[in-house]
Amino acid sequence: MKVNLAVNADFSAEGLITPKSFTWPDGRKFQIETFYKREFPEPADLMIVGIKYLCRACGKDIALFCAGSQWYINLPDKKSSCK
């Protein structure tokens, strides 16, 4: 399930984006504890839209996605413990 998020991020002089925190649609805010890396999709990977940011938040490793100016997370069908 795709959930759109509000994300606070740092922008480097080189144009790299590093997410720092995110806000769920219901207004709850979470800090990103660790930022691991960003992954750009392979041309053949049609399932990934935008850049994948691998992070740790809520004590769990997560993947945030940024497509243009929109941020989102893909959640499994069951409820996330971060929510």
**Per-residue pLDDT tens listing for the chain (83 residues):** 899 999 999 999 999 999 999 999 999 999 999 999 999 877 766 566 789 999 999 899 999 999 888 999 988 866 555 65
Residue 64 is assigned to a structural domain of this protein: yes
Contact 18, 35 (CB under 8 A): yes
pLDDT at 11: 94
Show the domain range for 53: 2-74
Residue 79 is assigned to a structural domain of this protein: no
pLDDT at 75: 84
Domain total for the chain?
1
Coil, strand or helix: which one is 7? strand
Contact 4, 72 (CB under 8 A): yes
pTM of the model: 0.81
Residue 22 is assigned to a structural domain of this protein: yes
Residue 81 is assigned to a structural domain of this protein: no
Q: Give the separation between CA 31 and CA 24, rounded to whole angstroms.
A: 12
Q: Give the separation between CA 14 and CA 3, rounded to whole angstroms.
A: 29
